[in-house]
Structure 1
Amino acid sequence: MTDEGFMGPPWQMDWTLKAQAARDALPENVRKMIDAARAELVTAKDPYFRGVDADADLPRDMKVRPVDSSRPKGARVLLFDNGHGWMTYTFIRRCEDPQVVVEEIFWQ
């Protein structure tokens, strides 16, 4: 737990069945990129990546953007492979078991 009363990284991560099936259907090299993106998410101090250049510590081929800018605590999209793929996720900040939930995976 942190001083704020919340648990900190590494965060738990869960996948919807649809996202897990999409990930499993991709080639191995793409799954490795997704695993690298996953590692960045579960170890981020703030999985929302709020603020100007908050995602500056991510690898050069990854960026995080809000899905809807009017919802600051809403879903995010993590772009990987220089924008050729993305994963849409939400962060559920709970005292007991905060976690990242991946809702969609796409790669082209």
Structure 2
Amino acid sequence: MTDAFMGPPWQMDWRLDALSCRDGLPEQVRSMVDEVRAELVTAKDPYFRGIDADADLPVTMYVEPVRSTDPKGPHIMYFDNHRGWLVYTFTPRAQDPQITVEEVFWQ
């Protein structure tokens, strides 16, 4: 066990309903969701806080808080030029930081 704060790659967990939604998507969309997942688990700060913090994301993706009044709450990551999104929370615990996917949607 180490005393240092853990960094990326982060662990990711899925709510069962979000995972079943992801599994029900067409193959090309599932690959886009996997790209979103890769961006989240390797991000220095999965909430992309700060000016231009999401500048390294592909042009088809961006992140914002679900509610602007709750910047540490759930966030939404849009992908495929707003045709889909993934709602997630990040728990920055010292022992076991984790991203939890709550919802996946694509139209």
Q: TM-score, normalised by structure 1?
A: 0.94
Match in the other structure for 2:26: 27
Name the aligned partner's letter for residue 61 of structure 1.
T
- Give distance in 1, aligned partners of 2:15 and 2:72: 19
State the Cα deviation string for residues 54-103 of structure 1 (Å, max 9, x = none): 11110110000110111121010000001100000000111111010000
Compute the RMSD of aligned alpha carbons: 1.6
- Give distance in 1, aligned partners of 2:76 and 2:55: 15
Name the aligned partner's letter for residue 22 of structure 2.
R
Mind listing any 5+ residue stretches in structure 1 that lack a counterpart?
none
Q: What is the percent sequence identity of the aligned residues?
A: 66
Name the aligned partner's letter for residue 26 of structure 2.
P
For 1:74, what is the secondary structure of its paired residue?
coil
Count of residue pairs brought into register by the alignment: 107
State the Cα deviation string for residues 10-55 of structure 1 (Å, max 9, x = none): 0000000010000000000000000000000000000010112211
- Give distance in 1, aligned partners of 2:47 and 2:28: 26
For 1:1-108, list aligned pairs within 5 A.
Answer: 5-108=4-107
TM superposition shift of 1:2? 9.5
Q: TM-score, normalised by structure 2?
A: 0.95
TM superposition shift of 1:104? 0.1
Mind listing any 5+ residue stretches in structure 2 that lack a counterpart?
none
